[in-house]
């Protein structure tokens, strides 16, 4: 499954266009390798996403073409969620 579609279906990022933009700006890694929006996601992959001042690390558990809201969280497991300080102080 494409990375941008996985992020949308799993509801980690609400819109596919936003997921594509985040990936294409170099803020997402799959298994430690910089990923594009068209990169393929497989079960067992570890995905690291940088949102502003937060880094979210997840492991892909399930792949679905579409999900209900309550099933979306079953698609991944959060490994870590880290706050990052962006200040230059």
Name the DSSP class of 12: S
Percent of the chain whose pLDDT exceeds 70: 96
Q: Are strands 46-51 and 54-60 parallel, antiparallel or unpaired?
A: antiparallel
The mean pLDDT value for 2-13 works out to 94
Question: Over the stretch 51-89, which tens digit does the pLDDT of each residue have?
Answer: 889 999 999 999 999 889 888 989 999 999 999 876 554
Burial, 3: exposed, middle or buried (Cβ in 10 Å; 0-12, 13-18, 19+)?
buried
Q: In what order do the strands lie in the sheet with 76-83?
A: 33-34, 28-30, 46-51, 54-60, 76-83
Rounded to 5 degrees, φ, ψ at 41 are: -105, 135
pLDDT of 7 higher than 70: yes
- The confidence score (pLDDT) of residue 86 equals 64
């Amino acid at each position: 499954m494409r990375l941008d579609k996985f992020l949308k279906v799993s509801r980690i990022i609400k819109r596919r266009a936003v997921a594509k933009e985040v990936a294409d700006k170099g803020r997402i890694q799959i298994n430690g390798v910089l990923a594009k929006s068209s990169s393929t996601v497989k079960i067992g992959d570890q995905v690291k996403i940088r949102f502003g001042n937060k880094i979210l690390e997840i492991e892909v558990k399930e792949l679905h073409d579409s999900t209900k809201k309550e099933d979306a969280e079953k698609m991944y497991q959060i490994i870590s969620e880290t706050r990052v300080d962006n200040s230059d102080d």
